[in-house]
Amino acid sequence: MAETVFTPALEAMPHIKSPNGETLTKPFLDVCRLVLPVIDKFGSSMALVKSDVGGNIGRLDAKYATDTTSYYLLYDIVRKEVADKTAKNSNSCTNGLLWLTRAMDFLVELFRNLLVHPDWTMSQASNEAYAGTLKKWHGWMASAAFTVAMKLVPDRKKFYELLGGGNLNTDIETFVTTFAPILQENHNFLKSVGMDDLKAS
């Protein structure tokens, strides 16, 4: 069966959880890293998102590498920062996880829009996804930059060609339905420690 650009991420998703249902650090970051090629298909319009996602993966990965046993579970990184009272720092891993999750929310919502609204343009799907996810957390500068970037998204037909052959809509649907609950768990946990409402400066 022909692969789509989603295939590697979809194959890695079942490994995110431990047998006890807890989110594992490395497998979660691996899936996010495998989403980067999906972001690439948007071209220059998503350069900001890709840079942000890549930076936050790198930040969390570097922390994980300092103690792979203590930080085996993703939320233990946050718990340690909350205990140390460093979680609210702009360069914290907590902040990194929050913005990584929000960026993934945006992508999930964008692809959900493409599935549900076959008549929408890419620009419409992108703008609606942005309005429903990232916009309320962005300051005016980030918001203005994003609005300009959304004007550069590729044409829908061309974009679908870039995503690859195979059963594309099935892969998109699986990506949306499998990843969304994992992202929601991140939000639920961050909210439980008072860290889900940090805004961009």
Digit-coded pLDDT (tens) for 11-51: 999 999 999 999 999 999 999 999 999 999 998 888 888 99
C-alpha angle 144/149/155, rounded to 5°? 145
Residue 1: inside a domain:
no
Closest C-alpha among 101, 104, 82, 95 to residue 36: 104
The CATH number assigned to the domain holding 155 equals 1.10.3520.10
Q: pTM (2 decimals)?
A: 0.94
Residue 121: inside a domain:
yes
Residue 179: inside a domain:
yes
**Would you say 104 and 32 are in contact if contact means Cβ atoms under 8 Å apart?**
yes
Residue 17: inside a domain:
yes
69-83 pLDDT tens trace: 999 999 999 999 999
Residue 201: inside a domain:
no
Cβ-based neighbours of 145, under 8 Å, separated by 6 or more = 48
What is the rounded CA–CA span in Å between residue 169 and residue 153? 19
Residue range(s) defining the domain that contains residue 70 = 6-83+91-190
For the cut 90, the answer to whether the pLDDT of residue 199 exceeds it is no
Amino acid at 48: L
Distance of CA 163 to CAs 16, 27, 158, Å? 24, 23, 9
Residue 196: inside a domain:
no
Amino acid at 5: V
What is the domain count for the chain?
1
Closest C-alpha among 79, 134, 72, 139 to residue 109: 134
Provide the pLDDT for residue 140. Answer: 83
**Would you say 5 and 37 are in contact if contact means Cβ atoms under 8 Å apart?**
yes
End-to-end CA, the chain? 46
Provide the pLDDT for residue 102. Answer: 96
What is the rounded CA–CA span in Å between residue 117 and residue 121? 9
For the cut 80, the answer to whether the pLDDT of residue 1 exceeds it is no
User: Sign of the CA dihedral 32, 53, 76, 134?
Assistant: negative
* Residue 51: strand, helix, or coil: helix
Provide the pLDDT for residue 5. Answer: 92
Residue 198: inside a domain:
no
* Residue 4: strand, helix, or coil: coil
Residue 195: inside a domain:
no
What is the rounded CA–CA span in Å between residue 197 and residue 89? 13
**Would you say 49 and 106 are in contact if contact means Cβ atoms under 8 Å apart?**
yes
